[in-house]
Structure 1
């Protein structure tokens, strides 16, 4: 964290969950790329997204993964789609799950959004099959 404060419990939980979902290599890259300018943002997403939403017990990581991919695809956030498709290796969401989530995107958010996301997912799965863990967003 940027100042002398010790990390909050929510931050520690968030970092643990973030590492479980995105993997240590991704989180280490994001942390290394962080600067004083974006450190408050990194803290906020670690506490909010990862320590609050992703750490809740109401639904599984697999289900959260599917929801997240669908939302990101619907909003056209391509780098984030790729990052969360890579994360399916850790969340338990299968390729069939991703396909089903993107089918929902086609109906509820539009065919062009789903078409773009299918292309991204196919590319990411090909990279994963080839052993490439990829880079991507600093989320």
Structure 2
């Protein structure tokens, strides 16, 4: 597979993983590696379902205490229909017993926040407000800190 094909496959998978269209940031080596390797190679590997990969990613970002990234994953999982809000609540209960209350409660808070935001957006008829999530994902995949937003 050519580098261009791998990049297109990676961008396509990024869009699926996040549930929105990621901008193609040209010339940023960190973003290039993320698109072509993480999403073009790792996320496209067979063997695990998207739901499996999403749950593993949620566990990992919860374990390191990053509720911003958890919110991105939660929103995308709900958007893609991979997991329900009730199941996400159960994930937070389950992970709390392995990771401890502070980290588990951060995940539970992220689940509640995203569900609340999605409900408000649906009531407004506005669909999903993805601007903050898109900005966070771009920042994260271009080597910046989500906290710098």
**Correspondence list, 1:54-133, <5 A:** 54-88=43-77, 89-90=79-80, 92-131=82-121, 132-133=128-129
Mark the runs of 5 or more structure 2 residues left unpaired by the alignment.
122-127, 142-149
Partner of 2:10: 14
Mark the runs of 5 or more structure 1 residues left unpaired by the alignment.
1-5
Structure 2 Cα separation of the partners of residues 73 and 117 of structure 1: 6
Residue by residue over 1:85-109, the C-alpha shift from the partner in whole angstroms, topping out at 9 and shown as x without a partner, is 1111125122233223222321221
Residues 102, 52 of structure 1: alpha-carbon distance in 2 compared, 3 angstrom cutoff: farther
**Given the two structures, how large is their TM-score scaled by the length of structure 2?**
0.74
Tell me the number of residue pairs that the alignment of Structure 1 and Structure 2 aligns: 127
Residue by residue over 1:39-82, the C-alpha shift from the partner in whole angstroms, topping out at 9 and shown as x without a partner, is 11111111222112211221111121111112101111121111
Q: CA RMSD in A?
A: 2.1
Higher relative contact order (CA 8 A, sep 6+): 1
- Is 1:45 aligned to 2:34, yes or no? yes
**1:24 aligned residue (12, 20, 37):** 20
Partner of 2:144: none
Structure 1 Cα separation of the partners of residues 54 and 87 of structure 2: 9
Decide whether the 8 Å contact of 2:26 with 2:32 is kept in 1: no
Decide whether the 8 Å contact of 1:74 with 1:109 is kept in 2: yes
Residues 9, 91 of structure 1: alpha-carbon distance in 2 compared, 3 angstrom cutoff: farther
**Given the two structures, how large is their TM-score scaled by the length of structure 1?**
0.78
